[in-house]
Structure 1
Amino acid sequence: MNTIVTALGTARARRLRAALTVLLATAAAVGAPFYFAPFQVFQLTMVLLYAVALAGLNLLVGFGGQISLGHGAFFAAGAYTAAVMLDRYGTGHLATLPAAAAGCFLLGLGFGVPALRLRGLYLALVTLSFAVFLPPLLKRLEPVTGGSMGLTVDKLRPPAWSGLAEDQWTYFVVLAVTTVALLCARNLLRSRAGRALRAVRDNESAAEVMGVRLSLHKTLAFAWSAMFAGVAGCLYTWVIGFVSPDSFGFVLSITLLAGLVVGGLASLYGPLLGAAFVMYVPSVSQDLSEAAPGVVFGLLIITVMFVAPTGLAGLPGRVLAAVARRRPRATAAPPGPAPGTGSAPEAEPGPEAGSGALTTLTPPGPAVVDAEPVGAPPRTEKE
């Protein structure tokens, strides 16, 4: 019974901490655009849209156990889908979001089928080739994509009733889409499909024996991952208002994968931390060394991975574990006296306990050959 009460108390405390954390995070997210400058609000907006892309990559790499070095290509596909719809067809901004998500889902589904027979470095090489050849292809499709000059589209405009500036309105729209995307990723991982995906990652043979269809879930992992990347690319078009093939080189794919690893694989908070790393670390590297920002960026990645091998999301747990190991252990009760040391043992009540008399117990020692009974008269010399 005590165990059940303790468990209920622990669960209630855990829920209370989670609710408090969500409340504080919501207050900070809502109040941020009113506190920071417009450029800083723009940076926070970019962090949010990168978090959507990393959440999709986390489904594939962190929870699916596969690897992709071509995630920037799906990001570019979503961005160009939104840009073409806005520039060529004059649709509204909100109409581009489901189109980019659906188009990238089908693209990932088609790409995931031939990738079923590949794994490890071979799969990484194939996905990297996809990220390498897409920018030249976009340049060739000049009547649709604008070629090397790219496309310039309108940014989000705040409605009159909102009373918000353009950067603030864009931030809140991207925040809403990011929140929905992260909740969808969380619910997906807690569903039957998410559990099957993790089973495939842990042991493919055991998962297949349990009835999990490997081909189906591996293909769906690519499709989901591409869909999230397409949504992030659509948000990128809304925020920047300009797309060009040079903005989506294979370096973007490498940066996204590095951000996910630094943030924390198979973690629900890892994409947010990794997105902050992708957004702020290159700018910090540029400020520290204008001649070689890539060197500073690489050294920062090495430093973070040395300090937190499991990513920034696992760093608090490592710190708490280290503090717990350094705590002094509770002092144990002093041991009783060893036999034969001569220390007096405890007293026990004798036969006359009612009168308060106590008899001292003698510790076991060597046997006495000529012992006298208690209360016997003294012996004489004749005896």
Structure 2
Amino acid sequence: MRFAGLSARAWGTAVVLLVIALLAPLFLLDRFNTIQFAYVWALAIALIGLNVLTGYSGQISLGNGAFMAIGAYTTAILYFKLKVPYGLTILPAGLIAGLAGYLFGFPALKLSGLYLALATFALALSASPVIKNFDALTNGHEGIVLPTITDPFGFGLTNEQWLYYLALVIAVLMFVFARAMLGGATGRALRAVRDSETAAAASGISLSQFKTMAFGVSAFYAGIAGSLYATITAYVSPDSFDLPLSLSLLVGMVLGGLATLAGPVVGAAFVVWLPIFAQQAFHNKPDISYGVILVLLMFLLPQGIVGGVRQLLAWYRRRSSDGEPTAEAADLGPAAPPHAAERGTGGS
């Protein structure tokens, strides 16, 4: 029995995981780990958006950190300089970043493959210098220090717990929205564009409409994530949104699994926790060990962690039954065909 595209077992698993996530800050996590998981939820939002663009529509982006910067600075300026309550800055941050992404998508229509990757790479490189040049608005190199966020409802939560729950609730809402969008006609159109632009155009799908929409949606998610990032850190600066952030987003998306919705959550956890693990386990060479671990993971799990889990479940099902696909594997999200991103980046 399935509801909203998920089996009863998948719904049960999702409910259990959500309950654990809700209880973890109260009983399992200390203050440091609580705030790190708040970062995980924020980055998961950005990775869901990037997966819409790259995993589902096949357009490679190395510049989504720039859209996170737009969202973060929108919240910082509205909250700190204009005294708008921070909760009311999150949606405008996403909308402004989404508009920027949508507009960027129009010139990007003329680019594909490596050229599109280079254009978004240039976008990532330019984000920090542009922020520094508008110092009257952004405080330039110094950045903007935000007031500490506290529990506004008097629930007795620490600052870290409140930020954790804020990020978690928004991440769940963004996940549900993405699943609804990708599970319908829009998702089918995006996958058609990814798999073959020629066939998609022949079937009546507007390449320009869906490719620019994918850029806009991806940037909207990045803007929401950037807003949460600013709220969690209580500080934004140009150096927070330089090239390494955009590359980390790409690594997290690929590591979690292309064209899956569970993948961004897993990928975000690795992006946040893997450097911490490398620092603690390899005190002298954390950067080298971090790179080695990433390379090993990509060799061992070429379809990402979620793709690897899906393959393991399918193998287990074949061994224990007549070889029918598992509901669990299907519920992890549609698999990206090999080299989907490369094949789907042809020009329009």
> Same fold judged by TM-score > 0.5?
yes
Shift of 1:319: 2.4
Match among 15, 34, 41 for residue 7 of structure 2: 15
State the AA in 2 paired with 1:240.
T
Cα deviation digits, residues 278-337 of structure 1 (max 9, x gap): 0000111222334432211111111111221111102223224455677899xxxxxxxx
Structure number, greater radius of gyration: 1
Q: Deviations over 1:27-66 (max 9, x none)?
A: 1011011121011100111100000000000000000111
Mapped pair 1:315 → 2:308: yes
Aligned partner of 1:267 in structure 2 is: 260
What is the aligned partner in structure 2 of residue 224 from structure 1? 217
- Which residue number corresponds to residue 148 of structure 1? 141
- Alignment pair present for 1:99 and 2:127: no
Name the aligned partner's letter for residue 207 of structure 1.
A
- The 1:153/1:327 distance shift into structure 2, 3 A limit, reads closer
TM-score, normalising length from structure 1? 0.80
Q: Which moved more, 1:123-132 or 1:302-311?
A: 302-311
State how far apart, in whole Å, the 2-side matches of 1:74 and 1:58 are: 15
Q: 1:156 offset after TM fit, Å?
A: 2.1
Who is 2:65 aligned against? 72
Distance across 1 between alignment mates of 2:305 and 2:151: 35
Within the candidate set 148, 171, 175, 2:168 is matched to 175
Give yes or no for the alignment of 1:34 onto 2:26. yes
Return the match for 2:129 from 125, 131, 136: 136
Question: Which one of the candidate residues 270, 276, 280 is aligned to 1:283?
Answer: 276
Q: Name the CA shift for 1:17/1:207 in 2 (closer, same or farther; >3 Å).
A: same
**Cα gap change, 1:328 to 1:52, in 2 (>3 Å):** closer
CA distance in 1, matches of 2:58, 2:160: 37
- Give yes or no for the alignment of 1:84 onto 2:77: yes
Distance 1:320 1:177, change over 3 A: closer
Question: Where do 1:1-383 residues align within 5 Å?
Answer: 15-35=7-27, 36-159=29-152, 161-323=154-316
Considering only aligned residues, what root-mean-square deviation do their CA atoms show, in Å? 1.9
Give the match for residue 346 of structure 2.
none
Task: Choose 123-132 or 20-29, whichever is displaced more.
Answer: 20-29
Q: Which region of structure 1 is more displaced relative to structure 2, 279-288 or 51-60?
A: 279-288
Deviations 1:316-373 (A, max 9, x none): 23224455677899xxxxxxxxxxxxxxxxxxxxxxxxxxxxxxxxxxxxxxxxxxxx
CA distance in 1, matches of 2:313, 2:45: 29
Structure 1 SS opposite 2:33: helix
Q: Choose between structure 1 and 2: higher helix proportion.
A: 2
SS of alignment partner, residue 7 of structure 2: helix
| CA drift at 1:239 | 0.6
Gap runs ≥5 in structure 2: 323-348
In structure 1, distance between residues paired with 2:153 and 2:97: 33
TM-score, length-normalised on structure 2? 0.88
Question: Distance between the aligned counterparts of 2:96 and 2:258, measured in 1?
Answer: 26
Aligned equivalents of 1:181, 1:201: Cα separation in 2: 22
Look up the match of 1:367.
Answer: none
Q: 2: distance between equivalents of 1:37 and 1:309? A: 34
Q: Which runs of 5+ in 1 are unaligned?
A: 1-7, 330-383
Letter in 2 for 1:100: A
